[in-house]
Amino acid sequence: MNIKQLEHLLAVAETRSFSRAAERLFITQSALSRSIQSLEEELGAPLFDRIGKRNELTPLGKDVVARAGRLVRDAAELRRSVDLFKQGEGGAMRIGMGSGPGAMLMTPLLCHMAQQHPKVQVGITRGPTELQLMQLRANQLDALVVDARSVVPAADLLVEILGELRTCFVCRADHPLARLDSVTPAQMLAYPIASTPLSDEIARLLVELYGPAANPEHMTTLQCEDVSSLIGAVERSQAVFLGLAAAAREGIEAGRLVELPVRPRLEAKARFAYVTLADRTEAPVMAVLRRFAAERLHD
């Protein structure tokens, strides 16, 4: 038996007429009769008592109709879900985000999905790239948006560069350093430095520019993966934030934070990537994430 046969059965049960049911289904009456007869043969018992011009359900027919109604509704909902999935309007996305992308994307993405794609289930996890790569390979995540430099090249990974964001030093607007026209590394390093874990490339650049004291292993006194927490700490203390200028943009525009004129200037950019598994078919809805991230991960 198939869903089409069950749809035919329901139409006859509702109209109590093969001719009216055939009209509703846009098929010939003979085709409808063959469909019902085939279903009866498969079940091994009649579904209708044909009394004159009337067609009454047998006891078995009534039981089959009750079950068929649920199956047909479920099949219709399944077809609708598949259509939504193909259109990128249904399904689920499980995303891993690094600290920088999380600060820039997480809240705006959740708002965007709630407003524009309310049927999509969205799950976002934060954490070290190494852990998230393990979760990606274990099929616990669908894609990652992370610092490209933190991803070790591998044959099973597809890495698509999304954009770059400038790195700088930021402090609260009433910080003693904020009054200076130029800030030396020694002056800056006299205060706590708040930062996410930094790549080896950025670490080497800091040491080249500012000397051994700027090695992140020793320089960074406040460290976590959550950029928003670091920004919050900087706004409430004399700590200096080392990280994405874009992550501090709201505080700078509101006048709570300022970018420090450290000399020599730190000419460094974070490069972000969209990472998936090479052998996995991507759900259509993930294209929404890729476009969203690519549009926003730029200065």
pLDDT for the residue numbered 192: 97
Look-up: residue for tokens 């790549």? 199
Sequence spans of domains, the chain = 3-86, 95-163+272-296, 164-270
3-86 and 164-270 share one fold: no
Q: Which CATH architecture has domain 95-163+272-296?
A: 3-Layer(aba) Sandwich (3.40)
pLDDT of the residue at 145: 97
Helix extents (H) in the chain:
3-15, 18-25, 29-43, 59-86, 99-116, 129-137, 185-189, 200-210, 216-219, 227-235, 249-253, 286-296
Residue 87 — pLDDT band, cuts 50, 70, 90?
low
Q: How confident is the model at residue 88, as a pLDDT? A: 61
Name the DSSP letter for residue 247: G
pLDDT for position 280 = 79
Q: Got the DSSP string for 34-75?
A: HHHHHHHHHHTS-SEEEETTEEEEPHHHHHHHHHHHHHHHHH
Would the pLDDT of 239 be above 70? yes
pLDDT band at residue 77 using 50, 70 and 90 as cut-offs: low
The CATH architecture one would assign to domain 164-270 is 3-Layer(aba) Sandwich (3.40)
Band of residue 240 on the pLDDT scale cut at 50, 70, 90: very high
Q: What is the mean pLDDT of the chain?
A: 90
Does the pLDDT at position 90 exceed 80?
A: no
pLDDT at 241 over 60: yes
Mean pLDDT, range 175-193, rounded to an integer: 96
Mean pLDDT of the region 28-49: 91
Cα(257)–Cα(249) distance, integer angstroms: 8
pLDDT at 103: 86
Higher pLDDT, 276 or 16: 276
> What CA–CA distance (Å, rounded) separates 218 from 205?
15
C-alpha to C-alpha distance for 124 and 240, rounded to whole angstroms: 28
Please compute the mean of the pLDDT values over residues 84-99 and round it to a whole number. 78
Q: How confident is the model at residue 275 (pLDDT cuts 50, 70, 90)?
A: very high
- The CATH code of domain 3-86 reads 1.10.10.10
The reported pLDDT for the residue numbered 201 is 84
What average pLDDT does this structure show over 235-255?
95
Tokens representing 19?
């001719």
Mean pLDDT computed over 183-210? 92
**Angstrom distances, CA of residue 199 to CA of 133, 152, 202, 215, 224:** 16, 12, 5, 11, 14
Lowest mean pLDDT among 187-191, 196-200, 281-285: 281-285
Length of the chain: 299
Fill in the amino acid letter for 230: L
Mind listing the pLDDT tens digit for each residue in 135-167? 999 889 999 999 998 899 999 999 999 999 999
Closest CA to 141 of 273, 282, 290: 282
